[in-house]
Structure 1
Amino acid sequence: MIDPRLHAPAVARNRVPIWNVLKPNLPARGLVLEIASGSGEHAVHFAQLAGPNLVFQPTDQNADARASIDAWAARVQLSNIRPSLPLDAAQDVWPVDRADAVLCINMIHISPWAATIGLMRGAVRVLPPGGLLFLYGPYRRNGAHTADSNEAFDADLRRRNPEWGVRDLEEVAQAAAEAGFGVPQVEEMPANNLSVLFRRTA
């Protein structure tokens, strides 16, 4: 039988630094909605650390990713991780209508800009006032790349799909503000990535 679990090598490197930023910013209990969960390794790791009062709802629009998520979850047998759901961030209707926090790791640069706009609008719909939207990935700042490696990565992404690419943090923050989020808290992360934390203002 083929093991449906996918492995994202970056997860082993970044899950601890990400959790260190997430942990003090997540609510003590409630539902955490993850957008574009990919392999599912982040969701499973965070659910293990968070404890039973914080429930994780992974999602992905890709069926292979959802199979991987559910296989990882089955392996650890946790009560606080739900079966994965299909979700396209760019769509106006999501399969979840409320959440206490929304996570989105390494999606914005590997998707069309419409997915970022949809993410902001969808997160505002499901979050309560003060609810957290957490983003992680590479960004340009003040119109410039933060490292040569990010510039090369950006060029590779745009060769693969002209609608992809490392985004300007300021443009992402503007899109978030227009949707209903406040000024972001930005945390420097390893490998020239950023954690960007928004709070719903209204």
Structure 2
Amino acid sequence: MAPQHRPALPVLGGRKPSYRERVADALRAALIAGELRPGEVYSAPGLAARFGVSATPVREAMLDLAKEGLVDTVPNKGFRVTVVSEQQLDEYTHIRSLIEIPTTADLATTAAPSDLEALRPLAQEIVTSAATGDLIAYVEADLSFHLGLLALSGNTHLVEVVRDLRRRSRLYGLTALADAGRLETSAKEHLQLLDALVARDTEAARKVITQHLGHVRGLWATTR
């Protein structure tokens, strides 16, 4: 069973999210990381104790996740994490590849180096979270990094599409990778990607992001 974390609730993006949104972000990250298992039912009080918060914002946040199709409401019991099939994961990754690979590679010639460097602390946070095995922090930092990178394209609709795809994905193998000491190596690809973009090396950036997305599907999401 994956270790239970009680992370500090993250603050992401430019607008400071509400407490309910912060709880939803933490729960969503736990779900994506595979710490909330597909098919299992979780009660709001149980999750509240696990995350060190009160039950009310957890219940409200889980209702938000239910609207996104990430959990189903189970009357008088709580919420069941929806199961994502291998075919769905393949489809999500394929769409992400179609969007993220060319968009990210193009940033080597269009993004300001200062804007790219501003993302380096997030890239380093991904590496640090991988090294310490804090999977929820890893997912949160990874989401912020990739959406922040794509935002440099200036296409807000593209960013929202990728955000939705990432929310629906599952990284069931993160715990196994962390235990095997392999997650940190994969995490360092974010720094390699930034280095390629800052160096204006389009082909190197394309190679790194292609490899990275391959890891997402080929290594992480297939481990149950």
- Please confirm whether the aligned pair reaches a TM-score higher than 0.5, indicating the same fold: no
Higher-helix-fraction structure = 2
Considering fraction of residues, name the structure with more strand: 1
Q: Which has the higher contact order (CA 8 A, sep 6+)?
A: 2
Bigger Rg, which one: 2
